Amino acid sequence: MQIFYWPYSLQFKHPFAISSVTRTDTKVVYIEIKENEISGYGEAALPPYLKETQESVINFFKKININDLKNSDGLQAKINYIDILEGGNYAAKAALEMALHDLYGKQLNKPLHKLWNLSKRKLPPALFTIGITNNNKELEEKLETSKDFEILKLKVGNTSPLEQIKKLRKLTGKKICLDVNQGWYDKNLALEWIKAMADEGVIFVEQPFSKENLSEMAWLSEKSPLPVVADESFQNVEDLNKIKNCCKGINVKLMKCGGLDKARLIIEKAKQKNLMVVMGCMSESSCGVAAAAQLTPLVDYADLDGPLLINNDPFQGVVYEMGKILLPFNPGTGAKKIYKQNN
Ligand code: MG
């Protein structure tokens, strides 16, 4: 068994603006775990608001003792070995766990969703993200890219989103979900805006207030005519109990929770609590998104358009068709490395 890893920078097609920041790239680290000429790949995507960096991910990877990993018997034992190496490091662990699952699926020559008995017939609608923009040409370009999608995910700032929604309404009648990325401060105004947009084909509102502000999110969720979904306020399975009465749904991401197994456990528990589940991603390439897509038969919405927003994806394997993400049919996660990188 051998391990290789390398940093990379994903370049956005358009500068990507959310309520707090605009940026042109996202740093990632890829990992390859190779055994008997078969390679499994994983990705740690590191937007600047996460604590992890390329340096911290690489430092975590350096802690792996290849013999200990190799001698851990079976996939589960290998994942456990990674889990107990050190606390935190969720994106680094997600990358490693993804690579191990990919390797395991390739060794058995089966895609992960098949190994997990998930039905291809239950695919949820996929969302297409539109970052904050005042540039009409850019907006039209984005709508053209999104033509196969039925639902748009509109990023909004900290002022009234109504004008932005009205502008979009002139161009398209598609359903919209709103991602506020913690941008709103005033709960009364938030409720007023949501009431005004409920008739505009908006289907849910994600992370209206700062991530610590659960009491205001609970207040809004109770009064809002639209479901309120927690993203930044929700990281991993331990957060479920504290969040379950503050929102109607959660956005699950591999980079937040530490990998596919943990995401599956979260989805199962969230469904028991009647929470709506969105399977999301950071700005990730097809490597991470192909892995996350394997879980989409279990969720209500697939928020996995990362590969469509970048122009230097070093992997392929994610196919968007008729408003859905098709499950990759290649073995493992289904992601294929197409870019040669010096390891
Ligand atoms: Mg979000």
Mean model confidence pLDDT for the chain: 93
Mean pLDDT throughout 302-309?
93
Split at pLDDT 50, 70, 90, the class of 343 is very low
Mean pLDDT throughout 269-280?
97
Q: For 172-223, what is each residue's pLDDT tens digit?
A: 999 999 999 999 999 999 999 999 998 889 999 999 999 999 999 999 999 9
Residue 308: φ, ψ to 5°: -75, -15
Distance (Å) from CA 285 to ligand 1 centroid:
17
Distance (Å) from CA 233 to ligand 1 centroid:
10
Residue type, 140: E
Q: Is the pLDDT of residue 306 over 70?
A: yes
Contact 251, 230 (CB under 8 A): yes
Distance (Å) from CA 71 to ligand 1 centroid:
39
Distance (Å) from CA 68 to ligand 1 centroid:
37
Which contiguous run of DSSP H or E holds residue 337?
strand 336-337
pTM of model > 0.85: yes
Outline which parts of the chain fall under CATH 3.30.390.10.
2-113
Distance (Å) from CA 282 to ligand 1 centroid:
9
Residue 76: φ, ψ to 5°: -65, -40
Highest mean pLDDT among 19-28, 43-52, 286-295: 286-295
Outline which parts of the chain fall under CATH 3.20.20.120.
114-337
3 state SS of 187: helix
Number of separate helices (H) and strands (E) present in the chain: 14, 15
For Cα atoms 299, 12, 125, give the angle at the middle one, nearest 5 degrees.
20
Split at pLDDT 50, 70, 90, the class of 341 is low
CA distance 205 to 239: 19
What is the model's pLDDT at position 19?
67
Distance (Å) from CA 209 to ligand 1 centroid:
12
Distance (Å) from CA 231 to ligand 1 centroid:
5
CATH code for residues 114-337:
3.20.20.120
Distance (Å) from CA 339 to ligand 1 centroid:
29
What is the model's pLDDT at position 340?
67
Q: Is the pLDDT of residue 60 over 90?
A: yes
Distance (Å) from CA 220 to ligand 1 centroid:
17
Mean pLDDT throughout 124-139?
86
CA distance 140 to 172: 10
Q: Is the pLDDT of residue 133 over 90?
A: no
- Return the higher-pLDDT residue of 230 and 134: 230
Alpha-helical segments (H) within the chain: 54-62, 66-71, 75-83, 90-108, 112-115, 136-145, 162-171, 187-197, 214-223, 240-243, 254-257, 260-272, 286-293, 306-309
Distance (Å) from CA 67 to ligand 1 centroid:
39
b/e code 312-337 from CB counts within 10 Å (16+ = b): ebbbbbbebeebbbbbbebbbbbbeb
CA distance 267 to 71: 31
Distance (Å) from CA 207 to ligand 1 centroid:
7
> Shortest CA distance to 118 belongs to which of 268, 297, 301, 299?
297
Q: For 152-172, what is each residue's pLDDT tens digit?
A: 999 998 888 998 898 889 899
CA distance 35 to 40: 9
Split at pLDDT 50, 70, 90, the class of 246 is very high
Distance (Å) from CA 249 to ligand 1 centroid:
12
Split at pLDDT 50, 70, 90, the class of 256 is very high
CATH code for residues 2-113:
3.30.390.10
